[in-house]
Amino acid sequence: MKACGVEIKGNDAIICIMSKENNLYDIPHTRVQKISLDNAGDAEQVQHFQFTFAKLMEDYQVSHVLIKGRALKGKFAGGPIGFKVEAAIQLIKELQVEILAGSFIKKELSKSQIDIDFRDTGLKQYQEQAFTTVFAYLATV
């Protein structure tokens, strides 16, 4: 199974694609590590973002997208553009999209018997949250 972890920061969808087969994890090299929505007020830009994201998932044969959940209100609440990015991803028909709560991710990582040092993955530092999101999900399947 191939899955993609997504962390939404501002107008960026930071991604990490990972597959798990026979309890072996693989992180393929991807052509981009994040996709940005330049102008959230322009419907054409939102559609372009959605098309770009969907095409990337199709090219890497990803079936599941896991978005790290964000607070709806309070000090650590996500911004309005981030929720637009989230909705654009959720509305892609070909993908199964889930939002994973931070508490779920933390619980699954603590239960996991596999310890992966993030520095050994070859990913960029800003992809760490996307990595932990997809890793926590794949640990349950």
Instruction: Tokens for 51, please give them.
Output: 């098309």
Instruction: Tokens for 102, please give them.
Output: 């931070």
Please report the pLDDT score of residue 71 as a whole number: 82
Domain 2-140, CATH homologous superfamily name and number? Ribonuclease H-like superfamily/Ribonuclease H (3.30.420.10)
Please report the pLDDT score of residue 28 as a whole number: 95
Nearest to 14 by CA among 131, 137, 98, 130: 130
pTM comes to 0.93
For the chain, the domains span 2-140
Please report the pLDDT score of residue 53 as a whole number: 98
Please report the pLDDT score of residue 23 as a whole number: 86
* Grouped pLDDT means (10 residues each) for the chain, 141 residues: 96 97 92 95 96 97 96 81 95 96 93 81 94 94 86
